[in-house]
Amino acid sequence: MLVAGLAALGLLVPASVADAASFVARLKAPGHHPTAGKRWSIKVSARTRSGKPVRARAYYQFLYGGQVVSTQYPSPRSRPGACPGASGCRHSPYPFRGSYRDPTVIWPRRAVGYRLTFRVVVKTKSRGTRKVSYWVRVRR
């Protein structure tokens, strides 16, 4: 009986450790139909299931037909529309704690009319990786 109780307790420990090691990543966007050439401000958050902020790094993937066609790194403090390529633009995932706002996302005119997927990849050192996908169809 004691051995069975210890075995049951041993099975519960890994499950609770797995739950504690997980986190929730969220993306808030102003809509699925951004306008080409205009700001599309988003908010990304990473929190434990109980709501505590998590240290993480994030980057963006743009998908067409399920294939990644571009990877960009958030630069929320840069001038909107300046990245990629300008000074002050990141070339690695953006570090944050809890959440950040990015007012610098601007969709190009060549994306007008296509159904695309905007994906935010959020990585942590010890809690794993989450991918948050959001479909968009850019309009003029």
Q: Give the count of domains, the chain.
A: 1
CB neighbour class for 67 (10 Å; exposed up to 12, middle 13-18, buried from 19)? exposed
Q: Is 7 domain-assigned? A: no
Question: Measured between alpha carbons, how far is residue 72 from residues 6, 8, 14, 18, 77 in Å?
Answer: 49, 46, 36, 30, 15
pTM confidence score: 0.81
pLDDT in tens, 31-77: 999 999 999 999 999 999 999 999 999 999 999 999 999 999 998 87
Domain span at residue 77 reads: 23-137
Q: Is 116 domain-assigned? A: yes
Q: Is 77 domain-assigned? A: yes
Lowest pLDDT segment from 6-15, 75-84, 96-105, 107-116: 6-15
Q: Is 5 domain-assigned? A: no
Q: Is 100 domain-assigned? A: yes
Q: Is 131 domain-assigned? A: yes
